[in-house]
Amino acid sequence: MSFCFNFDVSATTNTDDVQRNASMTNKIDGVAKSATESGSPAEAVKEAKEHLPPSDPQRLLDDAIYETLTIGTFPPLHFLNETVFEKTVYEREDTENILSRTAEQRSDLISGVYEGGLKVWECTYDLLEVIDREGQTFGGKAVLDLGCGAGLLGILSLKRRAREVHFQDYNSTVLEQLTVSNVILNCQDDDSDDDDDEDGKGTLDKEEFKTKTKQNRKDLLLPRCRFFSGDWRTFLVLASSQDPPLKYDIIMTSETIYNTAYYPALHDTFHKLLASHGHIYVATKSHYFGVGGGLHLFETFVAQRGVFTVNHLWDSEVGLQRHVVVLRFKKESL
């Protein structure tokens, strides 16, 4: 048995070069339904772990077909084409066995098993547009892309000179096959706002300079990234056990508040990992049909906890409503 979320795709704006609408009607199969109806994951949560980038990152991009997203003043963001990715799932390493399961069940979400990170969800585009309008600069910041999926939010901050960027996704397969690939894809550009490698520009010819900067960018950008899989509860333990414990100036998270059962772990993660002066961008729909969560329930939960203020940065005016909000510590909770 299957049923659908009905995502409104009409309100998306100036990112026409991306074919993102095709799979926006998301099917959740019977497994997900029974799991989410009870409000808890179907299978045991995943223990958090860190993933090191592969020793031969280029291999991940052999024959890669990718798309390019251009928003406002941002450098272009590249990401693997979802359709091609889906068609090649059987050739990919997948220790969690989620690729074949999602393909067979034609499911975008299997609660507690696969949390949807293999495609770019539309609120990611909303958040990118809001960040562009807000003029958010990431220079020198420590950033967390929480529930990153394809990782576009973290990649943007990386290209905009964040000091370090951590990518977290529930599924290790998502991180290893998609997020890391997308990061590497973007490290090859010579369009980052990164001028640390300008040395020698005058002494090399154009082609030599291109080769040198490409290599340098990978050497410069990839070491600024860390990748973590697992559920938020155990990710928080792992992050807090680092020396020094991880703290972030900016946390960005898109389409991660669909399941109310995850709110306590998500809120604790925000609370413990955000630096006192920091802020959290949350991009979300008002309501996730069939799963039950959404912004109104999340705001109620946050208000009850009394730790953060919530301010709306953007609310869509048509269709199923989408929002971008920002959370900051209340003065009295610091």
Q: Report the C-alpha gap between 260 and 222 in whole angstroms.
A: 34
Find the binder of ligand SAM among 117, 154, 278, 293 (CB under 6 A).
Answer: 117
Should residue 149 be labelled a site residue for ligand SAM when binding is judged by CB under 6 A? Answer: yes
CB of 126 to ligand SAM, least distance (A): 9
CB of 145 to ligand SAM, least distance (A): 7
CB of 37 to ligand SAM, least distance (A): 16
Should residue 107 be labelled a site residue for ligand SAM when binding is judged by CB under 6 A? Answer: no
Is residue 140 packed enough to be buried (19+ CB in 10 Å), middle (13-18) or exposed (0-12)?
exposed
Q: Phi then psi for 168, rounded to 5 degrees?
A: -125, 130
User: Of residues 159-198, which lie at the interface with ligand SAM (CB under 6 A)?
Assistant: 169-170
Interface with ligand SAM: number of residues (CB under 6 A): 19
CB of 120 to ligand SAM, least distance (A): 5
Q: Are 28 and 108 in contact (CB under 8 A)?
A: yes
Should residue 227 be labelled a site residue for ligand SAM when binding is judged by CB under 6 A? Answer: no
Find the binder of ligand SAM among 71, 77, 99, 120 (CB under 6 A).
Answer: 120
Should residue 123 be labelled a site residue for ligand SAM when binding is judged by CB under 6 A? Answer: yes
CB of 285 to ligand SAM, least distance (A): 10
Distances in Å between the alpha carbon of 74 and those of 12, 186, 196? 17, 13, 18
Q: Which stretch binds ligand SAM (CB under 6 A): 56-64, 118-126, 179-187, 285-293?
A: 118-126
CB of 119 to ligand SAM, least distance (A): 7
Q: Which stretch binds ligand SAM (CB under 6 A): 113-121, 133-141, 196-204, 272-280?
A: 113-121
CB of 196 to ligand SAM, least distance (A): 28
Q: Which stretch binds ligand SAM (CB under 6 A): 67-75, 184-192, 252-260, 314-322?
A: 252-260
CA angle 64, 91, 3 (to 5 degrees): 95
Contacts for 311 with CB less than 8 Å, ≥ 6 apart: 325, 326, 328
Find the binder of ligand SAM among 105, 173, 181, 256 (CB under 6 A).
Answer: 256
Should residue 290 be labelled a site residue for ligand SAM when binding is judged by CB under 6 A? Answer: no
Binding site for ligand SAM (CB under 6 A): 115-117, 120-121, 123-124, 147-150, 169-170, 231-232, 254-256, 262
